[in-house]
Amino acid sequence: MPTKTKFNPKQLKKLKQLADHLSVYLDGKQLYLAYQTDAKGDVTTYLYTRISQEQYELLKQGEFDLFDIFSEATDAVHVVAFHAEQATPLLFSANPKSIGVELLPPPGTFLPPQA
């Protein structure tokens, strides 16, 4: 069962853009992986989940399936919808198993190795 975390996407600092729809953010010492799952009109939706330093390193080496990171997260997956005309995003946190597969990266999605 996911642990409860206080999550505020507006307080995160971008650490690195890994791909077009994938970034790593920092909240203090905690890493978050953000995946842009949808963009329609003025609304862009992201999934965020906490990752460890080890997971981050494996991800950069192309050895961690993006689908697994979100579907098997040990913490909540945060679904965040940013609307261009609203200051506060719509946010809900969910158990990873309850996130629809259509929102997740396709199974077998790996990043190319990075520096």
Q: Residues with Cβ < 8 Å from 78, sequence gap 6 or more?
A: 7, 9, 47, 48, 49, 91, 92, 93, 94
Angstrom distance (rounded) from CA 85 to CA 77: 24
What pLDDT is attached to residue 10?
87
What pTM, to 2 d.p., does this model score? 0.88
Tell me the mean pLDDT per 10 residues along the chain, length 115. 67 93 94 93 93 94 93 92 86 90 91 81
What pLDDT is attached to residue 5?
52
What pLDDT is attached to residue 3?
46
